[in-house]
A = this chain, B = another copy of it.
Amino acid sequence: MRSHFVLFGDSLTEQSFSPGGWGASLANTYSGKVDVIVRGYGGYNTRWALFLLQNLFLGFSKSYIAATVFFGANDAALLERTNERQHVPVDEYKENLKRIVHHLKELSPSMLVVLITPPPISEEGRKEYAQSLYGEKARKLSERTNEVTGVYAKQCVEVAKELGVPSINLWSKMQETEGWQKKFLSDGLHLTAEGNAVVHEEVVKVLSEGRLCALRIPYDFPLESEIDEINLEKSFQEQRCKLDGLL
């Protein structure tokens, strides 16, 4: 059975198979080697995500070799603003992340779990987006701020350190590039094609550092160029032996 990566998160994961999405790119990078499974839940915070855990990975545990956990953008929604109901206090966010990591590690102790912080927020971008939807009636105050989201990002990295798992500080990383607000974010929060490319690149980097470099994972079938068309059975037999470490 082929190995799996699972992408667990909110809309930033849910949309990762849209055109140019980081999930589809990851599936392409590991083509023929690992299946990439999306478990993205638009609008979810970590509190709600906990309710999904029990049913999420039924029957698959042994084949899961890596997971990305990409939450926080909704937890960081502000109180007393339009998305208030998504808000989760930062201490609870930390605790919830820990529970998610523990759950995944319990399922499969060798699974590489990667925490990804929320991306930065362009408050201007959020306002423009609200105006494009609601015109004059749009809210005047963004429902998220970059500063508060940064607090969640910092704590996400902190949790990763505490638990000894790798993390990607997307909030910091993206802000290193001038013009990140429009370059990486389509509506001040969700990812453009270039933003998706950043996530893809960072995830591949972390997976490779964690001994899951695509080049090191063997194909479970012979490549066309390795097929001896006169002696087919031998070609497929040899590949099986290679995988079993017999060749």
Contacts and interface: CB of A to CB of B under 8 A. Distances in A.
Interface of A: 1, 14, 17-21, 23-25, 27-28, 31-32, 35, 37-38, 40-44, 47-48, 51-52, 55, 58-60, 85-86, 220-221, 223-225, 227, 229, 232-233, 235-236
Contacts of A85: 229
Contacts of A221: 41, 52
Contacts of A220: 55
Q: How many chain copies does the complex carry?
A: 2
B224 A47 contact: no
**Which 10 A-B pairs have CB atoms at the shortest separation, nearest pair first?**
A43-B224, A24-B24, A17-B27, A17-B28, A51-B236, A85-B229, A17-B24, A1-B59, A1-B58, A18-B28
A43 B221 CA distance: 12
21 contacts: A1-B59, A14-B31, A17-B24, A17-B25, A17-B27, A18-B28, A19-B24, A21-B24, A21-B28, A24-B24, A32-B40, A32-B41, A35-B35, A35-B38, A41-B221, A41-B224, A43-B223, A51-B232, A51-B233, A55-B220, A85-B229
Contacts of A232: 47-48, 51
Contacts of A27: 17, 23-24, 38
Contacts of A86: 224
Given A17-B28, A32-B40, 16 more contacts: A1-B59, A17-B31, A18-B28, A19-B19, A19-B24, A21-B24, A27-B38, A31-B40, A41-B221, A42-B223, A43-B223, A48-B224, A48-B227, A51-B232, A51-B236, A52-B236
